[in-house]
Amino acid sequence: MPVHNADIAAVFEEIADLLEIEGGDPFRIRAYRNGARALANLGQEAAALVAQGADLTELPGIGERLAEKIQEIVKTGHCKALDKMRRAMPSGITELLHVPGLGPKRVGTLYHELDIHTLEQLHRAVRDHRVQTLPGFGAKTEEKIESFLAQYKTDTQRLKLAAAAPYAESLAAFLRDVKGVVEVTIAGSYRRCKETVGDLDILVAARAGAAVMQRLDAYDEVKNVVAQGTTRATVMLRSGLQVDVRVVRPESYGAALHYFTGSRAHNIAVRRLAQKKGLKINEYGVFKGDKRVAGETEESVFESVDLPWIAPELRENQGEIEAAKRGVLPQLIELSDLKGDLHAHTNATDGHNTLKEMAEAAIRAGLSYMAITEHSKHLRMAHGLDSRRLLKQMDAIDQLNERLEGITVLKGIEVDILDDGGLDLPDDLLGRLDVVIGAVHSQFHLSRAKQTARILKAMDHPHFSILAHPSGRLLQERDPYDVDMEKIIRHARVRGCFLEVNAHPERLDLNDSHCRMAKEEGVLLVVDSDAHSTLDFGNLRFGIGQARRGWLTREDVLNTRSLKEVRKLLRATM
């Protein structure tokens, strides 16, 4: 069975969770979490590295013990250490960790104090108000857990886009290798670049007699077949992800692709246009009575209702049809439009590679400039830079630029926005940098008024360039902090600074609606990788997907411009 990075990362996370529930060694726990994070964000499959005989200890966050476990998981599909830990703990206890607000320490308290190790037991304890009696909980925490439990099922049924990608792309590639298959596309919310996906929709165009379903049955990752016919099937993968596969004839492929890409609201709006013209649109084609008049391509479907082709990322019935009618659809940004990356880290703080290695990786990613923006000293857990260490790195960047060809490395910092809106390093030092990225890394629970005022004050700083991951969210882990984003965006326009679209798969921050709001206000955005290793530049594609959902063109994004233009615009903010 193929083993993906997400599978290995899940093993490491579960080991860390169980260790923490048991009250285990914090250093071991941290090692497993760092390893899981490194694997989740790795730009290539660890299984392929194992097959090549590569030294896994060269990967960021992977020591000898973790490397041995990776090889074991890849080769056997199991981890003996995890199996042993599971036998020693009640089955299902880690499911409690999926409830927002319940970290391993609190789950440990629930288990040791109230013998709670299932969701049903937690429901009963909350109902009986026993949870609030525990140390570290209280009535308000109990109320939050109750509300979290109510939404738990919906929230945990979805997978982050980047986590779904290897499963989707591997299966699509597997199905392409069937005689008679003409085309395979991953449709649904995946194709629309939604931040999370509930399941996968894979559409196959094939000639008569193509053995697509037999090929699907032979896929090692299929755990069980929920339903199967000659042209459609629903299967569950061993990862828990549901996949719906649909096979159509090539002459219906465009109509089926439009239908299964969605969104539902967009499809309904297009069908209404068709009805006004006496047409019927379904997954088999566009029909005038019983005669198919279009449907072989998506373009022909849109053309049948007098519309140009609409990019999948826009298909949410949020004005795209009206824009298409008026001929004002945006020419959406492409990954190839990016010329630089203005947010990256090295092993000087919490990154995993050297300055030179990061620059060389940026060259391989097709970039002509990048900024190194380490954390500042306030973020101690990331070993943030103080003034002395930042000056030392600035000298190192100058030396690297003298001998490195193909890229220019800019001097920057990801400086903490302090509680009072100040910045974490002195003005005279910030003024010597090419780019200053301000970020909120603490006090997430301030009131809306205080959080907004804090960020606005930071943006008014004379050396402030870019607001990093503006909402502070972590997908499915941490909600955005309460902030008036409309006020932030409008202040950025007045101030002349920029907002980031952070491409890290756990962030994708700004969200699509705020990207569009910024565009409408004339605020330039920056699509950054927030790279912490040489492999993280591959995440830029997810940031571009988010930007496209926000209707952004290359003109709306700062780092599609040449280095000369970017430097001029950055200087204007400082």
φ, ψ dihedrals at 368, nearest 5°: -110, -10
Mean pLDDT value across residues 326-331: 96
Final residue belonging to a domain, choices 326, 360, 378: 326
- Show the domain range for 539: 335-573
Amino acid 5: pLDDT: 86
Tell me, yes or no, whether 232 and 321 share the same domain. Answer: yes
Strands 242-248 vs 200-206: parallel, antiparallel or unpaired: parallel
Cα separation, 37 vs 47, in Å, equals 16
pTM: 0.79
Cα separation, 323 vs 336, in Å, equals 25
Burial zone of 470 (CB within 10 Å; 0-12 exposed, 13-18 middle, 19+ buried) = buried
Alpha-helical runs (H) found in 404-524? 427-430, 448-459, 485-495, 512-521
Amino acid (one-letter) located at 190: Y
Tell me, yes or no, whether 239 and 366 share the same domain. Answer: no
CB contact burial 219-239 (16+ within 10 A = b; e otherwise)? bebbeeeeeeeeeebbbbbbb
Number of domains in the chain: 3
CB of 574 within 8 A of CB of 465? yes
Looking up residue 347, the CATH number of its domain turns out to be: 3.20.20.140
Tell me, yes or no, whether 138 and 171 share the same domain. Answer: no
pLDDT tens-digit series, residues 212-231: 999 999 998 998 898 899 99
Mean pLDDT of the chain: 91
- 530 Cβ contact partners less than 8 Å away, ≥ 6 residues apart: 343, 344, 345, 468, 469, 502, 503, 504, 507, 536, 539
Structure tokens given for 555: 């003109």
Structure tokens given for 309: 């082709």
Strands 498-502 vs 525-528: parallel, antiparallel or unpaired: parallel
Tell me, yes or no, whether 24 and 89 share the same domain. Answer: yes
Decide if pLDDT at 166 tops 70: yes
Amino acid 157: pLDDT: 65
Tell me, yes or no, whether 78 and 9 share the same domain. Answer: yes
pLDDT tens-digit series, residues 339-383: 999 999 999 998 989 999 999 999 999 999 999 999 999 887 778
Final residue belonging to a domain, choices 280, 298, 326: 326
Tell me, yes or no, whether 363 and 474 share the same domain. Answer: yes
Mean pLDDT value across residues 550-555: 98
Looking up residue 225, the CATH number of its domain turns out to be: 3.30.460.10
Tell me, yes or no, whether 417 and 551 share the same domain. Answer: yes
Cα separation, 125 vs 431, in Å, equals 56
Closest CA to 472 of 447, 492, 442: 442
Tell me, yes or no, whether 341 and 320 share the same domain. Answer: no
CB of 350 within 8 A of CB of 341? no
Structure tokens given for 483: 């902030």
Looking up residue 70, the CATH number of its domain turns out to be: 1.10.150.110
Tell me, yes or no, whether 116 and 22 share the same domain. Answer: yes
Question: Which residue, chain included where needed, has tokens 């004002």?
Answer: 328
Tell me, yes or no, whether 271 and 378 share the same domain. Answer: no
Cα separation, 416 vs 399, in Å, equals 27
Amino acid 97: pLDDT: 77
Final residue belonging to a domain, choices 135, 155, 175: 155
Tell me, yes or no, whether 318 and 375 share the same domain. Answer: no
Mean pLDDT value across residues 493-521: 95
pLDDT tens-digit series, residues 226-277: 889 999 999 999 888 899 999 999 999 999 999 999 999 999 999 999 999 9
Tell me, yes or no, whether 132 and 246 share the same domain. Answer: no
Q: Could you tell me the pLDDT band of residue 155, with boundaries at 50, 70 and 90?
A: very low
Residue scoring higher pLDDT (504 or 143): 504
Cα separation, 183 vs 525, in Å, equals 35
